[in-house]
Amino acid sequence: MVSKELESAINKQINAEFWSAYLYLSMSAHFAHEGLPGFANWFNVQFREEQDHALKQMNYLNSKGNRVELTPIEKVDTKWDSVLHAFEETLKHEKIVTSLINNLISVARRENDFATENMLQWFVNEQVEEEETAQGMIDSLKLIGNNGFGLYTMDKELAQRSYVPLTGEQAS
């Protein structure tokens, strides 16, 4: 079992992952409405990945004999001025998630809970990727600027992204 303090902290993280999923689902709906199906697809894949993050942490708590406690998910925004704005919000949010994961690891280390630290290490690597991807999108969108054809081309590219579920050890 993990300690009560860690159990509570991981449950809070599960809520944060579902909030992330909710945020990206809202972005997906917004861009579908704006006639940008590729961006809508990209955020829909992101939504599904965030659900996997929450499920991975739920599976971990269950595997340790702890309790999962699902709590209400806070409201998210429903509109963004531009795709650049949405990706800037994405990067800002992912940086917050990175700090939450780092704080969780600090608690696990203080308690010498190496199994939990090991589980969280997957998220450390994932966050590096998440921040890098969001920054890459911001860089591309700044290059594109107000060029409608550039945005159209990027939308076509992002339509190709497909969801890859976590399997085996990755999922647990």
Name the minimum Å distance from CB 46 to ligand FEO. Answer: 7
Name the minimum Å distance from CB 3 to ligand FEO. Answer: 23
Nearer to ligand FEO, 7 or 94 (CB): 94
Closest-CB residue for ligand FEO? 53
**8 Å CB contact between 71 and 15:** yes
Residues 6+ apart with CB under 8 A from 116: 2, 6, 10, 60, 104, 108
Query: Judging by beta carbons within 10 Å of its beta carbon (0-12, 13-18, 19+), is residue 29 exposed, middle or buried?
Result: middle
Centre a 10 Å sphere on the Cβ of residue 49 and count the other Cβ atoms it contains: 19
Nearer to ligand FEO, 126 or 151 (CB): 126
Candidates 6, 14, 27, 97; binder of ligand FEO (CB under 6 A) is 97
Q: Residues 131-170: x/- map of binding to ligand FEO (CB under 6 A)?
A: ----------------------------------------
